[in-house]
Structure formats: structure tokens, C-alpha cells
């Protein structure tokens, strides 16, 4: 149950709504404000399922009147009830949801050594980043390390694409490539210029899969640091795969071999 009675808000200039609006519309605002915004019942439920305590819930009047939605809202420390039109004004979605959580955020710059990891090198597309986080969580990865230049991991778009995967991963972002020395696991990357296929070699476990910029790939200096470069066969003749699709293939093959052993 919330620690205080629900508060009705009717002004778009309310301080809470101003903050939520900033978080919903500015991809990196969470770094300054120390909170991130989860919109929609699916993300809110995923947050709670992982034991994360939301600081604030904003919910529409209509949703508040329904027992199931109210029960979800009351898991937050504080609840604000707003008209649907006001919720729409803070939403970052074309079709706004009816509920959202504000959750505390703190930066983590310390990597965990010796665990299964994905390294993101300057990935730009939030959808790709979120999809990779989702695959990583599903396929047994413990940690994702985003190097400087990668899309903000806790931005609304990445959160939506990851569908709750954030809460099952150790996430480190905006770090220099020097942190790769602290992983203490082999670094693997894909390349179209090598002959060894990812499914034809014994993959080390744990390891760190390095995934690069959508257009430029992995930085050359980082490729030089990798222990092994492997290719994903494409008999259909395509020049390259989407980075999120490539990530899923590599992570699945790692899991398949792990289970086979």
C-alpha cells in the first residue's frame, strides 16, 4: 500500500508532472534527475516482479477506478491520480498508457568481472539496444556494458524495447573501452572478413560478445583487443545482419553450447 493517500492532480504545471514530462521526452534526463519513467502496465509489472520499489505512480482517473489497475498503482510509495488528458500531456507514446512509475536511478561504473557479458560499442538505435538487452536477459547474460557513444540505456525508448529486461541485468553505461580489461573474460566479435563460423567453434564460457555501431561496426582498436573474430554464415546473400539479430544468434549459440556441455 502507498505510504500516503493518493493525490489528485489537475494542473499540467504540477512539479511531479513537469519532471515526468522531462523524463518521458528527453532520452538522457534520468542521468540528471536520478529517476527514470516506466510507462504502461507491462513495464510497471516487470519492475515489481524483480523486486524494484517505484517511488511514485501516476495513473489516470479511469484506471484508478478499476481494482486491478488500482492494486498495481498501490505498490508504489506514492500515487498521483490525473485526468486522461493530463496523462496524455506527459506521455512519450503516440497512444498513451494509463499508468506509469517513477523509479530511482543511480549510475554504475563498476563492471562485474568473470561473468557473461555483452559490450555495446556506439550503438545508436534505441530499438536495437533494447532488443539486445531483452535477448541478453533471456539467454543467460548477466551484464551489459555500453561504451561511450551508445544510446542511453535507461531512455524511454530503450526501456520499452527491452520489455523489463533491465531489471534482470547489471548495466554499466558511458564508459571508456579501458573497462574491457576489467571483464576478465574472452572478448568475441563477429566479422564478415573471417572464415570461422560462430557455430563451428567451441565458444568460451563465460565470454563477452562485442557488438558495434550499426553502420561502422566495432571500432578497429576494440577489434584488435578481441580474442576471436567469427562470422555468421548468410547463404541467402545478404551483406550484413541487423546488429540486434546478430546479437541474438551469437547469444543463442553460446547458450546452446553451454547447455550441450
Which CATH number belongs to the domain containing residue 123 in this structure?
A: 3.40.1280.10
Q: What are the cell numbers at 57?
A: 505512480
Same domain, 99 and 191: no
Q: How big is the chain by its Cα radius of gyration, in Å?
A: 20
Spatial separation of the C-alpha atoms in residues 117 and 184, rounded to whole Å: 11
Q: Domain for residue 2, yes or no? A: no
84 and 188 housed in the same domain: no
How far apart (Å, rounded) are the C-alpha atoms in residues 202 and 209? Answer: 14
Domain count along the chain: 2
Asked if the structure places residue 111 within a domain, the reply is no
Count of CB atoms within 10 A of residue 108's CB? 12
Q: Record the pTM.
A: 0.94
129 to each of 6, 39, 117, 178, how far by Cα in Å? 35, 18, 14, 21
The bridge status of strand 117-121 relative to strand 208-212 is: parallel
Strand partners of residue 189: 210, 229
Residue 130, helix vs strand vs coil: helix
Q: Do both 185 and 87 map to the same domain?
A: no
Residue 92 domain-assigned (yes or no): yes
Residue 182: pLDDT over 80: yes
Length of the chain: 261
At 242-256, the pLDDT tens digits run 999 999 999 999 999
Instruction: Please compute the mean of the pLDDT values over residues 98-123 and round it to a whole number.
Output: 96
Return the pLDDT at 96.
Answer: 84
Residues 79 and 190 in one domain: no
**pLDDT of 21 above 90:** yes
Residues 148 and 187 both lie in one domain: yes
| pLDDT higher than threshold 70 for residue 36 | yes
Residue 129 sits in the same domain as residue 94:
no
154 and 209 inside one domain: yes
Q: What share of the chain in percent tops pLDDT 70?
A: 98
Which pLDDT score is estimated for 3?
Answer: 57
Helix (H) or strand (E) holding 211: strand 208-212
- Together in a domain, 140 and 233: yes
* Confidence check: pLDDT of 2 > 60: no
What was the pLDDT predicted at 189? 97
- Residue ending a domain, choose from 104, 132, 166: 104
CATH of the domain at 94: 3.30.1330.30
Chosen domain end from 78, 104, 130:
104
| pLDDT of res. 237 | 75
Is residue 260 helix, strand or coil?
helix
pLDDT over 90 (residue 221) = yes
Residue 173 lies in a domain: yes
Q: Please tell me whether residues 136 and 249 are part of one structural domain.
A: yes
Mark which of 104, 135, 150 sits at the end of a domain.
104
Q: Is residue 217 part of a domain?
A: yes
- Inside any domain, residue 110: no
Q: CA 98 to CA 61: how far, in whole Å?
A: 9
* 92 and 141 fall within a common domain: no
Domain span holding position 223: 117-260
> How far, in Å, are 21, 80, 210, 226 from residue 132 at the CA level?
26, 33, 12, 20
User: What would the pLDDT profile of 45-101 be if each residue is shown by its tens digit?
Assistant: 999 999 999 999 999 999 999 999 999 999 999 999 999 999 999 998 888 899 999
Indicate whether 198 belongs to any domain.
yes
Angstrom distance (rounded) from CA 57 to CA 158: 20
Judgement on whether residues 125 and 253 belong to the same structural domain of the protein: yes
Task: Give the pLDDT of residue 65.
Answer: 97
Question: Backbone phi, then psi, for 191, in 5-degree steps?
Answer: -155, 145
Average pLDDT, the chain: 95
Q: Residue 146 domain-assigned? A: yes
| Mean pLDDT along residues 167-180 | 96
Same domain, 129 and 212: yes
Residue 1 has pLDDT above 80, yes or no: no
Amino acid at each position: 500500500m502507498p505510504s500516503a493517500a493518493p493525490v489528485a492532480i489537475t494542473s499540467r504545471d504540477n512539479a511531479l508532472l513537469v519532471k515526468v514530462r522531462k523524463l518521458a521526452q528527453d532520452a538522457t534526463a534520468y542521468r540528471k534527475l536520478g529517476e527514470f519513467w516506466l510507462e504502461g502496465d507491462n513495464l510497471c509489472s516487470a519492475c515489481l516482479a524483480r523486486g524494484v520499489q517505484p517511488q511514485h505512480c501516476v495513473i489516470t482517473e479511469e484506471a484508478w477506478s478499476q481494482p486491478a489497475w488500482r492494486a498495481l498503482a498501490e505498490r508504489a510509495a506514492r500515487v498521483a491520480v490525473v485526468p486522461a488528458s493530463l496523462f496524455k500531456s506527459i506521455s512519450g507514446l503516440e497512444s498513451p498508457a494509463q499508468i506509469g512509475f517513477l523509479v530511482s536511478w543511480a549510475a554504475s561504473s563498476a563492471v562485474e568481472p568473470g561473468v557473461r557479458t555483452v559490450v555495446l560499442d556506439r550503438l545508436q538505435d534505441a530499438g536495437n539496444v533494447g532488443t539486445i538487452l531483452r535477448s541478453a536477459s533471456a539467454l543467460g547474460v548477466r551484464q551489459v556494458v555500453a561504451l561511450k557513444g551508445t544510446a542511453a540505456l535507461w531512455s524511454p525508448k530503450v526501456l520499452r524495447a527491452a520489455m523489463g529486461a533491465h531489471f534482470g541485468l547489471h548495466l554499466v553505461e558511458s564508459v571508456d573501452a579501458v573497462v574491457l580489461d576489467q571483464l576478465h573474460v574472452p572478448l568475441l566479435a563477429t566479422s564478415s572478413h573471417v572464415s570461422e563460423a560462430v557455430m563451428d567453434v567451441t565458444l568460451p564460457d563465460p565470454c563477452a560478445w562485442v557488438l558495434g555501431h550499426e553502420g561502422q561496426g566495432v571500432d578497429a582498436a576494440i577489434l584488435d583487443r578481441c580474442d576471436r573474430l567469427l562470422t555468421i554464415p548468410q547463404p541467402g546473400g545478404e551483406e550484413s545482419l541487423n546488429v540486434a539479430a546478430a546479437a541474438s544468434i551469437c547469444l543463442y549459440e553460446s547458450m546452446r553450447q553451454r547447455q550441450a556441455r
